[in-house]
Amino acid sequence: MVTPWWQGAVIYQIYPRSFCDSNGDGIGDLKGVESKLDYIASLGVDAIWLSPIHPSPNRDFGYDVSDFNGIAPEFGAMADFERLIKEAHRRNLKVIMDEVLSHTSDQHKWFLESLKSRANDKSDWYVWADPREDGTPPNNWLSVFGGPAWSYHPLRRQYYFHKFLKQQPKLNLYNRDARAAAIDVLKFWLDRGVDGFRLDVANSYLHDAELRDNPAVPMTERTAHHWAHAPNLQRRIRDSNLPENREVLDEIRAAVDTYKDRFVFGEFSEEPGLLSHFAGATHGLHTGYTFTFLEDRSFKPQVFAEHYEFLNAIEGLWPCATFSNHDVTRTVTRYGRTMESDPALAKLALTLLMTLKGTVLLFQGEELGLPDGPIERHQIHDPVGELYFPYSKGRDPCRTPMPWVAGKPNIGFSYGEPWLPMAPAHEALAAAGQEHDKDSVLWFARRLIELRKQHPALVRGDMKITEASSQILAFERFRGDDHIFCFFNLSGSAAILASSKHDTRRTFLEVGTCEHNQGSISLGARSALITSAAMYRFEVHK
C-alpha cells in the first residue's frame, strides 16, 4: 500500500492578505504568493495551505464567503490562481485551500434567496426558527463572537442561527440540496487541480434538530478559560460537536477520495474527545487538529505527553501537529510571554513541533521566529478585538504582515499602506536578513525540516512517551530500523540526563545548552537533544 503524501508532511499555512503584496494596495495577493514560491520551496515543506481566497465582505476576513466559486478581487483573478497552482506544482508543492462549509456570508446568493420567504427552493438551506412568544431567541446558544447566536429578520419573522457574526448565517446541512451544494464546492476546486482542503469548524456542520439549550458548565468545573469568554460557560454539544456530524464528514471524505492523491483535514474545536469520531483511516476526514496546543501557554511537558497519550490510544488516527495559526497568539509570544523576539525559544519550539508525530502545520513567519505585532485600538479589524479590547486585541497581532527586507518600505511587504501595521520588532527578523545569517531561525528551520525528512522515524514513525516530569519531555520515534530519541527540557532550570549508553557521535541535533560529561549530560534550561542513543534516569540539577 502506498503511503499518502500527507502523512508526515510539513504544510506551510499562508494568510494571503498578510503574506506579500504585489500591487501596492496594502493587501497581500496571489501574485505575491507566487513571487515567494522559491522561498517557500527552500524551506523543504511539502504543501501550502491558503487561508480563504474567495469573494467576501470581509466582516471576518474571508471566513464569510459570498461566492464559493470565485477569487476575491483583492487577491487577483482565476487566472492568477491557476498560474499559482501550476508554479507550485512545478516546485513539487501541493496546494490546499481553506473552505468554510458550515456557514456563508449574509451576502451570498443562497442566503439572499432563503431570506425571501418561508416557501422557496432555498428557504430551508439555513437554520431558521420562530421566536419565543416574548420575542426572544429560540434557545440559549451563544455566538463565538459575543451575544446570542441568533438574529431576527422581519422579512421572515424568524431568527436565523449564526455561530459567529450575524453576517455569517449557518447553513442547514440537514437539507440534502444544501449539503450537495457544499460538497460541489469541493469538486469545483478539485477539478481545477487543488490537492486538498482544510475545513473550517468541521465539528459544526450539524446542529441539534430540536434546538435544545446547551447545558451549563458546572460552577465547580469552571476555570479562567471558561470565564474568559461567555460561550465557554456552556457545553457546546447542541450547536456543534454532535456525533451525527460525522455523516457529513463521511460524505465529504467519499467525494474527495474519488480524486487521486487528495487530502482533506479539519479544524475540530471545543471537544477534542470527538476527534476519533470525526477523523480516521476509514471514516470522517483524513485527519484534523484540535486547539490543545494552540491555546496552551504553559509549555509544560505534561500537556504534550497527555495529548499524545490520548492520540496514541485512537486506533487508525493520524494526527496533526501545530502550535500556531491565524487564530491564535504566535508561539514565541504565547510561550515566552513577550512581544520581542526570542530566537532560542523559537528554535526549541520548532524542534519540538518537527519531532512530534503527525502532519505538521507551520504558520507563516514561524520559520522566522516572529512574535505578535502590537495593535492599537484604531488599528483593529478583528471582531474579537472589537469585542474585548484592551483585555484582548483579538487575532490581528498574529496576522500582521510578513517582513521580507529590512530597510525597504513596510519591511518589503508592500510599497503601499499595509492593511495591518508592520511590527517594529519584525524589522530585525526580516527574511532577507536571516538568509545571510546561518545561525538564524530561518536557517535552523530549514535544517530541521531536512533532518526530519532524512529519518523515516520522524516522518511516519510511531511515538512513545518515555518521560513527562516538571522539566523533561522525552519520547521515542521509531520506524523499521530508524530509532530516534528526543529529549526536551522545557523548564527554566538545568536538568541531568544520565546514561551509560550515550554516544555523542550519534547525536543529530542539540538546541540550547547540552554539556556532555562522563556518563551524563547536563541539559540546560529550555534545551533539547535529538539522538539515536538511548538515555534515561532523570535527575534535577542542584
Q: What is the pLDDT along the chain (542 residues), one digit of tens a residue?
A: 689 999 999 999 999 999 999 999 999 999 999 999 999 999 999 999 999 999 999 999 999 999 999 999 999 999 999 999 999 999 999 999 999 999 999 999 999 999 999 999 999 999 999 999 999 999 999 999 999 999 999 999 999 999 999 999 999 999 999 999 999 999 999 999 999 999 999 999 999 999 999 999 999 999 998 999 999 999 999 999 999 999 999 999 999 999 999 999 999 987 878 999 999 999 999 999 999 999 999 999 999 999 999 999 999 999 999 999 999 999 999 999 999 999 999 999 999 999 999 999 999 999 999 999 999 999 999 999 999 999 999 999 999 999 999 999 999 999 999 999 999 999 999 999 999 999 999 999 999 999 999 999 999 999 999 999 999 999 999 999 999 999 999 999 999 887 655 565 588 999 999 988 877 888 999 999 999 876 555 554 44
Grid coordinates in use for 327?
A: 487564530
What pLDDT was estimated at residue 541? Answer: 46
CA distance 323 to 366: 9
- Per the annotation, the verdict on 267 as an active-site residue is yes
Cα 500 to Cα 492: distance, rounded to the nearest angstrom: 26
**pTM for the full predicted model:** 0.97
195 flagged as catalytic: no
**Pairwise CA distance, residues 159 & 360, whole Å:** 40
300: Cα within 13 Å, side-chain hemisphere = 10
Between CA 263 and CA 287 the distance in angstroms is 9
**Residue of 267, 270, 372, 396 marked catalytic:** 267
**How much is the pLDDT for 517?**
81
CA–CA distance, 134 with 130 (Å, rounded to integer): 11
pLDDT at residue number 270: 76
**Region of residue 312 (left: phi > 0; alpha: psi -120 to 50; beta: else):** alpha
Name the active-site residue from 34, 200, 382, 396.
Answer: 200
What is the C-alpha separation between 509 and 488, in angstroms, rounded?
12
Q: Which fold has domain 462-540?
A: Immunoglobulin-like (2.60.40)
Could you give the dihedral angle defined by the CA atoms of residues 109, 203, 186 and 358, in that order, rounded to the nearest 10 degrees? 150
Look at residue 269 in the predicted model and tell me its pLDDT.
Answer: 85
Give the residue extent of every domain in the chain.
10-102+176-207+242-452, 462-540
260 CB-contact burial (10 Å; exposed 0-12 / middle 13-18 / buried 19+): exposed
Q: Is 10-102+176-207+242-452 in CATH node 1.25.40.10?
A: no
Peptide bond into 390 cis (omega under 30): yes
Sheet holding 128-129, edge to edge: 128-129, 158-161, 150-153
